[in-house]
Amino acid sequence: MTFRASAPLTTEWEHFDLGIDHGVATVTFARPDNLNALTFEVYADLRDLLAQLPERDDVDVLVITGTGRGFCSGGDVHEIIGALRGMDTRGLLEFTRMTGAVLQRLREIPLPVIAGVNGVAAGAGAVIALGADIRVLARSASLHLLFTRVGLSGADMGIAYLLPRLIGLARATELLLLGDRVDADTALEYGLASRVVDDDELPDAVGALARRFADGPTLAYGATKALLTREQDMSLQAAVETEALTQALLMTSADHAEFYEAFSDRREPRWTGR
């Protein structure tokens, strides 16, 4: 990254596993004995990682997955929910703003994000999965937006903004009010899953998709994601103008020039993300 301040990038993350392989960053929740339940530290690390990844030259796509039987079962009942009972209003607001920052950064990060949902994704875990751009679910996986079932608002972390935009207001209302479990086939039917694969095929399916993104025109992918996110709140006039400006800019890119040269030479493009 050409322009950086003095603060160094974090090299080790204590509260989840991070691997980077040829442009693919993989976050793996690594508390399998607790179905990868979230702690305060996991939330904070994920928030901070999402801020740092765009500053790296070696990451073009992000994969989020879990170990064991769960993707992520949401906030740890003892380490988070119990502790929150003793906080004052200011402390609680700091916590809820931190969790919301995770979803916001998932949507705003200029990288494709793939959730490889290997098991149960409940509460905040479901929100994290739904915050990804593409969700590949194992056949045994499920989504469970259960906030009302613990006496809290079904609108948490920004999901009441995101979910109606994914599946429409009527179905979003039902899921957020009732908090029912959604199995993988129903998630596919509703549009909550991009695809469903057999459990043992999940790593390869996610890996192949991540590889395709990392090897592709990453500058174009980032611009497309940014516009998909921002145009949700624009008028048609503003959206058309924003797309016109973005497209004109990308027409000056090295990748677009490479496409033309490759087409003329009858070969595959060699994308550089520039």
Helix, strand, or coil here: 72? strand
Structure tokens at 87: 């906080």
Helix, strand, or coil here: 88? coil
Residues 122 and 234 in one domain: no
pLDDT at 49: 97
Mean pLDDT of all residues in 83-99:
95
The count of domains in the chain is 2
Q: What is the pTM of this model?
A: 0.94
Give the residue among 95, 7, 13, 94 at the shortest CA–CA distance from 50: 13
Residues 210 and 239 in one domain: no
Residues 50 and 114 in one domain: yes
Contacts of 29 (CB under 8 A, 6+ apart): 16, 36, 38, 42, 64, 65, 66, 67, 70, 71, 72
Instruction: Decide: 225 and 166 in contact? Cβ < 8 Å.
Output: no
Backbone angles phi, psi at 217, to 5 degrees: -75, 85
Instruction: Decide: 39 and 76 in contact? Cβ < 8 Å.
Output: yes
Range of 241's domain?
A: 218-265
Find tokens 């199995």 and name the residue: 183
Mean pLDDT of all residues in 38-57:
96
Residues 73 and 205 in one domain: yes
pLDDT at 8: 83
- For residue range 200-259, what is the model confidence (pLDDT) as tens digits? 999 999 999 999 999 999 999 999 999 999 999 999 999 999 999 999 999 999 999 999
Residues 25 and 131 in one domain: yes
Helix, strand, or coil here: 136? strand
Instruction: Decide: 55 and 1 in contact? Cβ < 8 Å.
Output: yes
Q: Nearest 5 degrees, angle CA 114-CA 101-CA 240?
A: 70
Q: What is the CATH number of the domain that holds 33?
A: 3.90.226.10
Is residue 255, in this structure, part of any structural domain at all? Answer: yes
- For residue range 103-122, what is the model confidence (pLDDT) as tens digits? 999 999 999 999 999 999 99
Backbone angles phi, psi at 252, to 5 degrees: -95, 0
Is residue 6, in this structure, part of any structural domain at all? Answer: no
- For residue range 169-187, what is the model confidence (pLDDT) as tens digits? 999 999 999 999 999 999 9
pLDDT at 157: 97
Mean pLDDT of all residues in 58-75:
96
Tell me the pLDDT band of 1, cut-offs 50, 70 and 90: low
The domain boundary residue, chosen from 180, 198, 214: 214
Tell me the pLDDT band of 5, cut-offs 50, 70 and 90: low
Q: From the CB of residue 168, how many other CB atoms can be counted at a distance below 10 Å?
A: 12
Structure tokens at 253: 């890119």
Instruction: Decide: 27 and 52 in contact? Cβ < 8 Å.
Output: no
Torsion angle of C-alpha atoms 233, 134, 30, 91, degrees rounded to 10: 10
Is residue 9, in this structure, part of any structural domain at all? Answer: no
As a whole number of angstroms, the longest Cα–Cα distance in the chain is: 67
Residues 21 and 154 in one domain: yes
Residues 225 and 242 in one domain: yes
Is residue 271, in this structure, part of any structural domain at all? Answer: no
